[in-house]
Amino acid sequence: MRVLIIRLGALGDVAIATPFIEKILESYPESEVWLLTAPPYRELFINHPQLKVQTFPRKGLKAMCAALAWVNARKFDAVYDLQGTLRSRLLAIASRARLCAGLNRGFPYTHTPPPRGDARPDNHIFARFNAILQCAGLPAAEPRVMLVTDAAEREHVQRWLREKSLSGRPLVLMHTGSSARWVSRRWEERHFAELARALHERGLHVIWVGGPEERELNARLAAHGGVNAAEAFSVLELVELARQARFAVTNDSGPMHIIAAAEIPIYALFGPTDWRRSHALGQGGRVLTHSVPCSPCYLPVCPPQREHRCLRDLTPQAVLQRLITDGMLSNQ
């Protein structure tokens, strides 16, 4: 058999899909299983021993036509649509698969879960993905991001830690960014700086992680304590780095979900989005919020009159107190 899994993006959603990818692989042990995703996410699966990956850009008519032709030529027997968009529906139609499971009802889907209020604010994407598997007769997945790293990634992290004189020290990861179109998700720079100083005073070493978008911000924050690691690690190397840390503090972002693969405590700062829908797997109990009437608003930029209070009023002192309460700052 040939099996196709469709999950085009974004980064966090692809990470959340990994336990379902593993469950599908377990359920089709003798089959050829493909993941169709966007080019930036291929690197998440470069070490996977079983999964085959095909990528196409998420936008553009030319890319869509190429993806449809590729799917049609492979003659897939089963399709699991974990995207749930018009684009993924067209891809499912092109597959002509006998079994086609997805959230959307109607052609071409042969297996769809019964309506359960997907629009509810407390319905996490994980629950919706599990409903797809179960309606097709597959067992439910566990809430665990599953990414495969290798020795080269581990060695790169260890070498970097030695170069920065951080080997064996109590480490904390902080991710300060978010996607460029979601600036409203970002905790204030001064809050991150104040928290970093407090952690430094207690003997913890902060590593400011991120990509090119965080380079300048991380450099400014590192002046208050810690090391700027923007662009220092690939996605899988970030998992290995996280395994060396005591905990992480992040905005609601893709790296939050990647760090979850290390299974360390993640304290995620939520304001304009609803944490119940998109918290990192296994980390719902550590979400940090400040209740205001307009949250969640799902606005990419906060209107000036609202003053970004959902995150502005989530103070460093409140975050620090939670870390103390949870024993994260203990010397043990």
Q: Which CATH superfamily is domain 151-325 in?
A: Glycogen Phosphorylase B; (3.40.50.2000)
Per-residue b or e along 242-262, where b marks 16 or more CB atoms closer than 10 Å to that residue's CB:
bebbbbbbbbbbbbbbbbbbb
Instruction: Give the list of residues 6+ apart from residue 196 with CB closer than 8 angstroms, or none.
Output: 174, 206, 221, 224, 225, 226
What is the model's pLDDT at position 222? Answer: 95
Distance CA 185, CA 178 (A): 6
What is the model's pLDDT at position 330? Answer: 80
Q: What band does 120 get if pLDDT is binned at 50, 70 and 90?
A: low
Mean pLDDT of 222-240: 96
Global pTM exceeds 0.85 = yes
For the record, the structure tokens of 73 come out as: 């030529």
Q: Does pLDDT of 121 surpass 60?
A: no
Q: Let me know how long the chain is.
A: 332
Whether the Cβ atoms of residue 280 and residue 249 lie closer than 8 Å to each other: no
SS3 call for 177? coil
Distance CA 90, CA 108 (A): 9
Mean pLDDT of 60-78: 97
Fold match flag (2-135 vs 151-325): yes
pLDDT tens digits along 245-265: 999 999 999 999 999 999 999
Q: What band does 122 get if pLDDT is binned at 50, 70 and 90?
A: low
What is the model's pLDDT at position 73? Answer: 97
Whether the Cβ atoms of residue 84 and residue 238 lie closer than 8 Å to each other: no
Q: Which CATH superfamily is domain 2-135 in?
A: Glycogen Phosphorylase B; (3.40.50.2000)
Q: Does pLDDT of 114 surpass 90?
A: no
pLDDT tens digits along 142-179: 999 999 999 999 999 999 999 999 999 999 999 999 88
Q: What band does 57 get if pLDDT is binned at 50, 70 and 90?
A: very high
Mean pLDDT of 43-66: 96
Mean of all residue pLDDT scores within the chain:
95
Distance CA 128, CA 119 (A): 10
Q: State the first-to-last Cα distance of the chain, in angstroms, to the nearest integer.
A: 51
- Which percentage of the chain shows pLDDT scores above 70? 97
- Which percentage of the chain shows pLDDT scores above 90? 92
Q: What band does 9 get if pLDDT is binned at 50, 70 and 90?
A: confident
What is the model's pLDDT at position 86? Answer: 95
Q: Does pLDDT of 230 surpass 60?
A: yes
Per-domain residue ranges for the chain? 2-135, 151-325
What is the model's pLDDT at position 68? Answer: 98
